[in-house]
Each structure stands twice: as C-alpha cells, then as structure tokens.
Amino acid sequence: MSREAVRYLENAKEILRSAKIEGKFYGDKKPVREAFGKAYLSILEDINETLLKKGFIKKELPKSV
C-alpha cells in the first residue's frame, strides 16, 4: 500500500477508536460513516498507486469507481 493509502486507513481506525460503543453497536452513526469514507479513500488511493506501477499514466487513471 502507498503511504497515502496507509495514512487514510490509519485515520479511519483512529475515528473508530474514538467512537462510543453502546453494547455491541456504535452509539452514533456519524463517526462510523466518516471512518468508512476514509477507508474508501484509502482503497481508491491504493488502486491508483497500483495502476501507476503497472504503467498507466495519471491521465489514464479512472475518474470514478
């Protein structure tokens, strides 16, 4: 994984660590959504990095997934 992708993933984990858990579930949806948004960005960054390593140029990278 690229450094940027790892950074996004670490941010997502930190958001989840700070979210309150009530019983078996998170008490508030907002931090969970934020964390999953960061994890999604991590995946996109890693896909772009992999495509660049395989010979694609930046202009050829997908605009959306």
> Cβ distance 46 to 1 under 8 Å?
yes
> Cβ distance 4 to 45 under 8 Å?
yes
3-state helix, strand, coil in the chain (%, to 5): 70, 5, 25
For 44, what's the count of Cα atoms within 13 Å in the CB-facing half-sphere?
12
Look at 63 and 45; give whichever has higher pLDDT.
45
pTM over 0.85: no
Task: Report pLDDT for 21.
Answer: 92
Res. 64: pLDDT tops 80: no
